[in-house]
Structure 1
């Protein structure tokens, strides 16, 4: 199973992952220019890492995330979240044209929750034991 994840991650990296990660990184650098938008930059860097190597990782909601995360997500959705969601849907449609692209399309679709609402979510290894409050 680990070998399959490695192969899928390498194919993903070549087909879509590198360019998605570059885009998220550039957005993170732009957000870090202003002091007030640094949390958005950090979220962009986290999404860049996930976009670079998605297989074998998943997004989980942190229950301890509070009102600040909700407010950050509302602002994020208005400014960037819905654009990123459209981008991931379009990428998934393009990737699903071939049989080998179907797992890649699924990876693009599973990035939507994090692209739509990055605050209060965390990227963890698939199947990793988690604390009871993170299930």
Structure 2
């Protein structure tokens, strides 16, 4: 089911979004100041490429909390809001529910990427 979900996800726009996140990450990594933000954008690209069968582990300490606060102020809340809206629209149909759940997972990561890691889900 993961394979089918990821293939459908890629064909229905996931590939374009992952490429956009990758481009943003590369551009941010061109500057020394932007490297931490670029790494987070590349983390989002990895999750956006194949969201089915992956889980996000949240953690970190005060440094991650402060970095997430800065991220939210600089635009992370817009990204999370966009993923949340996409998830709500997608969940209007029964077929779209699994895709909406993946969008909600990405919304949370888009809001708080520092201190988190993306891993393959263990059953």
Fold similarity call, TM over 0.5:
yes
- Determine the C-alpha separation between the residues in 2 that align with 1:26 and 1:74: 23
Aligned to 2:36: 39
One of 101, 109, 112 as aligned partner of 1:114: 109
Q: What's the Cα RMSD here?
A: 1.5
User: How far does residue 88 in structure 1 lie from its aligned partner after superposition?
Assistant: 0.3
Give runs of aligned pairs for residues 1-135 of structure 1, distance below 5 A: 4-62=1-59, 65-127=60-122
For the pair shown, which has the larger CA radius of gyration, 1 or 2? 1
User: How far does residue 93 in structure 1 lie from its aligned partner after superposition?
Assistant: 2.6
Aligned to 1:132: none
Question: Which deviations, in whole Å up to 9, do the C-alpha atoms of 1:45-95 show, x marking residues without a partner?
Answer: 011010110111111123xx2322122111111112101111101211332
Structure 2: segments with no counterpart, 5+ residues:
none
Question: Which deviations, in whole Å up to 9, do the C-alpha atoms of 1:79-117 show, x marking residues without a partner?
Answer: 121011111012113322332211101110111221101
Structure 1: segments with no counterpart, 5+ residues:
129-135
- How many residues are aligned here? 123
TM-score for both structures, normalised by structure 1: 0.83
